[in-house]
Amino acid sequence: EAAQAIRPFGMTVRGAFHPGPGDAAAIGRGTLVLIGNAGAEMWRAFEAGRRKEPDPLDTWTARTLGPVAESLGATALYPFGGPPHWPFQRWAIRAGGVDPSPIGPLIHAKYGLWHAYRAAFVFPDRFEIDAPAAARSPCDSCTDRPCLGACPVSAFSAAGYDVPACARHIGSEAGGECLSGGCLARLACPVGVEFRYAPAQAEFHMRHFLAAVRRPS
């Protein structure tokens, strides 16, 4: 039912689990269903319904998914707008189907790095759900790891992600390709290339990232 209700917004059900200890605000609830997107379908729906407002994607997400959750008898939680800041990456791993990639974002065997989680619908009832299919991370068989060598400023290393170096480059003249076309490390990943974001979508996210890094804390 949830899958059908969110389809007009280019969203899909990205997994579900029964919350327990360690699952933050969802403790004691029946079922947590992750809502997200893969590829460009969500972007097309957003472009058709966006308004001139701050944080347009987040605002559009809450404006569209909030009423859907309410109509289904669920509470909608989002990975933005905190505090509280919900542990979406941990929930995604708990739901299954994704693993951490060498550059940080969760990787999916089909979608690669071209997917995201936009909300969680928390239902009071404990629904029967299928256990996630066991699958190895595609990174386990990727010997070349091209993602680690593609960044022009080597922002990704064994020490982690150098956010300041990345932001300085993106905000400079030399970083124009990254800003307008998307993260080169992410683009270097050979998994899920058919789901890559269109340039306009990639640039939107890069500009949003740059603005967030520059925003006074």
pLDDT per position as a tens digit, 122-140? 999 888 888 777 778 999 9
Report the alpha-carbon distance of residue 164 to residue 127 in Å, rounded.
44
pLDDT of residue 157: 86
Q: How far is CA 112 from CA 25, 39, 215, in A?
A: 29, 10, 29
Per residue in 90-129, pLDDT (tens digit) is 999 999 999 999 999 999 999 999 999 999 999 998 888 8
- Rounded to an integer, the average pLDDT of 16-34 is 77
pLDDT of residue 150: 96
Residue 58, pLDDT above cutoff 60: yes
- The structure tokens listed for 90 are 């941990």
